[in-house]
Amino acid sequence: MSQPLPVIVSPPSPTGGRRVRVDGEILGLAYNLGDVAEFLRRAGMEMEPVQVAVSPLIDWRGVGPEYWGPETRA
């Protein structure tokens, strides 16, 4: 069985949003949990936004999943 890929969500950028990396590859800039879930889905990792917030597979750098920066989008 293969190991889960490392998922890293960077600290919020000065303009808002957080960079999401899977296995070292940048998938995009997320502005909410739904964005992270969509990036992971595209990478073959099915996860609901609620699961994204609590998953031990995701390394939230700087702050947790509740903060996205100055331009937080709903």
Per-residue pLDDT of 19-70, as tens digits, reads 999 998 999 999 999 999 999 999 999 999 999 999 999 999 999 999 998 7
The beta-strand segments (E) located in the chain are 7-9, 18-22, 25-30, 58-60
Read off the pTM.
0.86
CB atoms within 10 A of CB 42: 11
Strand-strand pairing, 25-30 and 18-22: antiparallel
Strand order in the sheet with 7-9: 25-30, 18-22, 7-9, 58-60
